[in-house]
Amino acid sequence: MTLNDVWFTAIAVLWVGYFVLEGFDFGVGMLLPVLAEDGTERRVMINTIGPVWDGNEVWLITAGGATFAAFPEWYASLFSGFYLPLLMILVALILRGVAFEYRAKRDSARWKANWDRCIVFGSFVPALLWGVVFANIVRGVKLDARHEYAGTFWDLLNPYALLGGLVTLTLFLAHGAIFLALKTTGEIRGRARVLASRVGVVAAALAVLFLGWTQFHGGSWASAAPAVVAALALLAGLGAIARGREGWSFTLSAVAVGVAVISLFAVLYPDVLPSTLDPADSLTVTNAAATPKTLGIMTWVAVIFLPLVLLYQSWTYWVFRRRIGVRDIPA
């Protein structure tokens, strides 16, 4: 295994961490008007992700930075070809972050309701568009011989990519509902359990269809195994939530999300951005990579600092592990 392969694997791991962790707080944000019946319950839901949502976004920043440094050609082609959807995701994430910080700045029902709508919008857009983006990366796009995107925005909205968007959307909804069932008490917990079972069935059906389509067009036995594990983990998680085992259900849901991402990267390898115009124009882990010296320096930096980041984030989740409910919210 070369350093190119190491950093392709490292970037895949970073995306796994991002989708597993940011996935459930996207789900919580989208479910704000669905599960909360009053302002106090909305505060409970927001407080479940309040200490961790911004830390979860660090995985995205790190994945983007690692792609820029390790595979600059991939980064350049990706951000030029996917400029509009990535810009929409960025605007949504900014709006969502501002909403979390500003909704409590004024004691006004209308003020809070408007910012709550921003939280829902800022969670829905990335949950949908990340699936569209990754589906197009796996499927391939119109790359010319100069590795420049030759298609249009509408080319990205193909049936396979839209199905990928629906998969991430429903999967994050189910993941968020399971997290709420794990982190809350009282009526919110009960409503979250019921909703998780219902949305989870839809997510499982869409995920099986999407992963099956992916394997049929470009998969192998190596990539099919993670897809099967992801589907089984999600179904087992739904069974656990039906029995009231929220901890096991969330663990299995996280495994399903993570392994599904791994299966996509397994299908993609050794390409990083396939070309549908001519396979010879595809970006690979070889022709898109930085110099060996750059990759070597990055490896040492990652070995030193990554364990510190993981320890800090694990400590944060441990400190804020307790369930919360309406009684924990002051008047």
Give per-residue pLDDT as tens, 67-76.
999 999 999 9
Give per-residue pLDDT as tens, 219-270.
555 667 777 888 889 889 989 998 889 999 999 999 999 998 998 898 899 9
The number of angstroms, rounded, from the C-alpha of 132 to the middle of its chain's C-alpha atoms is 12
Query: What is the residue-averaged pLDDT of the chain?
Result: 91
Reported as half-sphere exposure (CB side, CA atoms, 13 A), residue 244 has a value of: 2
Beta-strand pair 271-273/283-284:
antiparallel
pLDDT for residue 228: 81
Tell me the CA end-to-end span of the chain in Å, nearest whole number. 58
User: In the structure, what pLDDT confidence band is assigned to residue 329 with cuts at 50, 70 and 90?
Assistant: confident
pLDDT for residue 219: 59
Amino acid letter, 257: V
Task: Decide: 137 and 78 in contact? Cβ < 8 Å.
Answer: yes
C-alpha–C-alpha distance, residues 266 and 206, integer Å: 20
Kindly list the domain boundaries of the chain, sorted by start residue.
3-139+151-201+270-328
For 107, 244, 252, 283, 290, the CA distances from 248, given in Å and listed in that order, are 39, 9, 6, 39, 41
User: In the structure, what pLDDT confidence band is assigned to residue 136 with cuts at 50, 70 and 90?
Assistant: very high
Residue 218 has pLDDT above 70, yes or no: no
Give per-residue pLDDT as tens, 74-98.
999 998 899 999 999 999 999 999 9
Q: What is the dihedral of CA 209, 210, 216, 218, to 10 degrees?
A: -170
Give per-residue pLDDT as tens, 6-34.
999 999 999 999 999 999 999 999 999 99
Residue 217 has pLDDT above 80, yes or no: no
Q: Which residue has the tokens 């800022």?
A: 122
pLDDT for residue 211: 82
User: In the structure, what pLDDT confidence band is assigned to residue 4 with cuts at 50, 70 and 90?
Assistant: very high
Any residues with CB less than 8 A from the CB of 310 and at least 6 apart, and which?
none
The number of angstroms, rounded, from the C-alpha of 27 to the middle of its chain's C-alpha atoms is 10
pLDDT for residue 231: 82
Average pLDDT over every residue of 120-133: 96
